[in-house]
Amino acid sequence: MVNATVLQRLAIATAATALALLIGLVVVAAAGYDPLQFASQLIEGSFGDGNAIARTLKFTTIFILTGVSVAIAFRAGVFNIGVQGQFVVGGFATVLSILWLAPMLPEGPVGGLGLMLIGTLAAVLAGGAYAAVPGVLKAYGGANEIITTIMLNFIAVGVVGWLVEGPLRGEGNRAPNTERLPEYVSLPRIVSDNPDFSVVGLGVALTVVAIVFVVMVRTRFGYDMVTSGHQEAAAAYSGVDAKRTIVATMTVSGMVAGVAGAVFAIMIQGYYSDPSGIGTYGFDAIAVSLLAANNPIGVIPAGLLFGGLDSAGSYIGISSDVPVQLIDGISGLVVLFVAVPELFRMAARRTGLGGDER
């Protein structure tokens, strides 16, 4: 899909999603469930009412941020499979910094805003630093970043899980959680009353997308990132320090993952719990980025799709006896079909809808 046009990529993503949903309905029918009812529940669970829409946008917000994090690295030819770990480290740093500084700042909206900004900055620094480690190992040690980032995921989850279960467990908590953030440290519920979603969080995600898009497409730094990842020799010939740029790419990717962790901790949780149970946003982000062809703008609709599927899965798990795993299967089918785009481009050429090859 590297040489595909924007319209071809859009057609591929649309065809992949439609075909995945169609096959999913066939599997549902084969399993003995009503496919029409399942389709109705998919729509109802995603966009059926205000609560469903807020739930969908909650997941979408996190998927957009983690998806952009993956897209930054993938677009530059570096495989950051460690977004989950960077997401965990970033969110944890947010909670720790807020809990530590809360007694030193005044209570109320001003103090809350200051704490959220400080917490987000801590997440950016923690996520970026954690991602820089495999970047350095790849650039200066020749280490495979896929292996190192996967291993760092396990380290992040294990260490943070131990901390929230032991030394940093909130006093009197039965569950392995830190203390809760102060009540005034929360994003305003302007449009929706859903306690787990704020349009401000979605606004942060969209702002990050815009910044990343401009940096990747309109700046010399973005050009150097892409060149260093795909053509290291050409980058060196043009005077770019390819090794340093690879480290910078991983660092920027981790910084965005850290922002995702901060938004998750502040907007959704309000504390930090055992990361093994908070969801696989960083891993799902790989699918989001693939569906978007690693385009920061394309991550928005891709994140909305996966957010809707997650929202529908939550709804179906409560209101139906259809296995929630079928939702995961549909998501997997979307990725599978996007990973073999030549099938769709061939069909387009045969039907005369593909246009000329470029």
Domains of the chain, residue spans: 34-320
Instruction: Examine the pLDDT at 339 and tell me if it is beyond 70.
Output: no
pLDDT at 21: 85
Question: Distance from CA of residue 273 to its chain's centroid?
Answer: 19
Between helices 109-141 and 83-101, what is the axis angle to 10°?
140
Structure tokens, 103 = 């007694």
pLDDT at 85: 97
pLDDT at 45: 92
Name the band, by pLDDT with cuts 50, 70 and 90, for residue 346.
low
pLDDT at 110: 94
Name the band, by pLDDT with cuts 50, 70 and 90, for residue 76.
confident
Instruction: Examine the pLDDT at 356 and tell me if it is beyond 60.
Output: no
| Rounded-to-10 torsion of CA 7, 4, 150, 334 | 50
Mean pLDDT, range 13-18, rounded to an integer: 80
Looking at CATH, the fold of the domain delimited by 34-320 is given as: ABC transporter involved in vitamin B12 uptake, BtuC (1.10.3470)
- Secondary element (H or E) of residue 22: helix 6-30
Mean pLDDT, range 77-101, rounded to an integer: 96
pLDDT at 348: 59
Instruction: Examine the pLDDT at 357 and tell me if it is beyond 50.
Output: no
Question: Beta-carbon neighbour count of residue 236 at 10 Å?
Answer: 14
State the chain's mean pLDDT as an integer: 88
Instruction: Examine the pLDDT at 258 and tell me if it is beyond 80.
Output: yes
- The lowest-confidence range among 40-44, 197-201, 210-214 is 40-44
| Count, residues in the chain | 358
- pLDDT tens digit sequence for 259-306: 999 999 999 999 999 999 888 999 999 989 988 888 999 999 999 999
**Does the predicted TM-score (pTM) go above 0.85?**
yes
Burial of residue 118 (CB within 10 Å: 0-12, 13-18, 19+) is middle
pLDDT at 358: 43
Mean pLDDT, range 221-240, rounded to an integer: 76
Instruction: Examine the pLDDT at 341 and tell me if it is beyond 70.
Output: no
pLDDT at 95: 97
Of the chain, the percentage scoring pLDDT greater than 90 comes to: 57
- pLDDT tens digit sequence for 115-161: 999 999 999 999 999 999 999 999 999 999 999 999 999 999 999 99
pLDDT at 6: 65
pLDDT at 227: 78
CA 69 – CA 211 distance, rounded (Å): 12
More reliable by pLDDT, 229 or 21: 21
